[in-house]
Amino acid sequence: MSNAAILPQDRPAAVPVAEHRATWRWMIAFRFLLINLVGLALVAAAWMAGLLDPIFATDSTHLVKLIVTVFVVGLVWAAQRAFMLARELNALDQPRPTPQTRVGDWLARIQGRDAAVRANLAGALKLKLAQRIATVRHVANVLVLLGLIGTVLGFIQALSGVQPDTVGDVAAIPGMVSRLLEGMSTALYTTLVGSALNIWLILNYRLLEAGSVHLLSRLVERGESNGRV
Domain ranges of the chain: 2-228
Q: Cα-Cα-Cα-Cα dihedral of 214, 216, 220, 223, to 10°?
A: 100
CA 15 from centroid of its chain's CA atoms: 32
pLDDT digits (tens, 9 = 90+) for 127-167: 888 888 999 999 999 999 999 999 999 888 887 766 666 55
Full DSSP string of 84-120: HHHHHHHHHTSSS--TTSHHHHHHHHTTT--HHHHHH
This prediction has a pTM of 0.79
Q: What is the pLDDT of residue 161?
A: 67
Q: Is the pLDDT of residue 19 over 50?
A: no
Q: What is the pLDDT of residue 141?
A: 96
